[in-house]
Amino acid sequence: MILRKFGVKVLRERNAYWEAVNVMGETYCKIAFMNLRSGSCRYIKTDPQELEHIGIKQHRDGSLNYEEWKKKVAADLIHPDFRTHFLERFSLATLREYLQGDDESMKMRYLRWDLQQRRYLWVETEFRRRSVQSDEVILYVKDISKEQYLEKSYQQAVQSERKQKEMAVQVRNNILMRMSKNLQVPAREIGGATQQAGAALLKRDDKKVTYFLNQIQGLADYLTEVARDMEDVNMIQQGELKLEEKNFDVQELARDCDDFFRQCSKGKRISYMWVGNLNGVYYGDKQRIEQLLFNLIENAIKFNKPGGGVYVAVSQKGDDFEFIVKDNGPGIEKIEQALQPYSKEGTQPYDGDGTGIGIGLAVAQGIVEAMEGHMEVKSRKDYGTEVRVSFGLKKECVG
């Protein structure tokens, strides 16, 4: 009776064990039993083609000589980068030492040749105790190619994010350096003009006082413009640029822009030409359209060469408007980069003053997009740049 109960218990344990092996067989591509005392192993699950490929024969009981199997597998199937470590890691001496320790399993990941797919795949081989008092261990081989791919993709994503953060820090530092220079120049000029105005005031030279005060006002306006453009860039990046629309005279807008830059170009020794007229009262954001024209024409003058030329053409067909600004300056090599905020695309003004922080085109593009218009930039290095802007406006809104 006792023997019968013991036999039933052993049978149940054995059935449970083989059920577990069958379940693991769905996860692992290879399973084998190994006896560390005799140095033999016996496959439970494998690819028969693999045994034929490595040229090893099974004994009558289906077992293999482990050392012979290990050497042939290492020579024929293990990637050269992992071969030496594989032989050392899974030597009988190492496995016997492992069996005497407290660890329940020992693992290694490496590249193994797959005969079906004819390429190296990432696998994980694990040696696990069969029981506490047994000299046998179970060898499992699992395909982890997908896991490695996901892990590699994750690492690449982490690395990419790290690089983007480093680039963002670098861009920020470059912006701060450029802004510092951009603000220091007019600040110093304001200080100098203030001293000159004070000296002229003591001498009661009203003409010089007026001249220096106008210079100070111009520099103050410039700093205000820089601050406004920076604020606009931030709003554009956040998608928060709003238009304040009201009725305005397009002829007046064109005349003001033309008069301003005609005077500005004289001081820069730039040939300037304005072609075309605008007429009518329309409903839109006059300040933003003015800002758009100012940014485009200012860039064309600022980044041009002494003796260079700037050509501005304005036209309208009904409610549709088009502005074209051309120059024969140094041109833009990387247009997409130039449309990014704070990028001057490697160009510097010919007068070497370092003014400009590279946001003119980015602001212009943001304004055009806010008006649901279109902006096209064409450029050729050493030949110049052409910016073409088109948008529609509503007729005068009454009431």
List 13's β-bridge partners, or say none: none
Residue 62: the pLDDT is 79
CA distance 100 to 144: 28
* Backbone φ and ψ of 269, nearest 5°: 55, 45
Is residue 305 predicted with pLDDT exceeding 50?
Answer: yes
Locate 373 and state its tokens: 């218009």
Lowest-pLDDT range of 144-148, 173-177, 329-333, 351-355: 351-355
- Higher-confidence residue of 28 and 377: namely 377
Please give the mean pLDDT across all residues of the chain: 80
DSSP character at residue 354 = -
Q: What pLDDT was estimated at residue 143?
A: 87
For residues 111 and 82, is the Cβ–Cβ distance under 8 A? yes
* Confidence at residue 316, expressed as pLDDT on a 0 to 100 scale: 92
Q: In the predicted model, is pLDDT for residue 293 greater than 80?
A: yes
- Higher per-residue pLDDT: 356 or 387: 387
Dihedral pair phi/psi, residue 311, rounded to 5°: -120, 125
Average pLDDT score over residue span 246-270: 86
Nearest to residue 306, comparing CAs of 259, 251, 269, 278? 269
**Greater model confidence, 70 or 136:** 70
Nearest Cα to Cα of residue 257 among 294, 295, 285: 294
* Stretch 221-230: mean pLDDT: 77
Diameter over CA atoms, the chain:
130
pLDDT tens-digit readout, 173-215: 766 676 677 677 778 888 888 888 888 888 888 888 888 888 8
Highest mean pLDDT out of 179-188, 301-310, 369-378: 369-378
Range of weakest confidence among 55-69, 71-85, 239-253: 55-69
Instruction: Compute the distance between CA of residue 286 and CA of residue 289 in angstroms, rounded to an integer.
Output: 5
Q: What mean pLDDT comes out for the span 47-71?
A: 83
Return the pLDDT at 238. Answer: 75
Q: What are the structural domains of the chain? A: 11-143 (3.30.450), 161-240 (1.10.287), 244-399 (3.30.565.10)
Mean pLDDT for 361-375 is 89
pLDDT digits (tens, 9 = 90+) for 354-365: 344 556 788 888
Q: Give the Å distances, CA to CA, from 339 to 91, 150, 241, 278, 303.
A: 62, 35, 17, 28, 15
322: pLDDT strictly greater than 90: yes
Q: Is the pLDDT of residue 349 over 50?
A: no
**So what's the pLDDT on residue 209?**
84
Quick check: 370 pLDDT over 80? yes
Q: Is the pLDDT of residue 2 over 60?
A: no
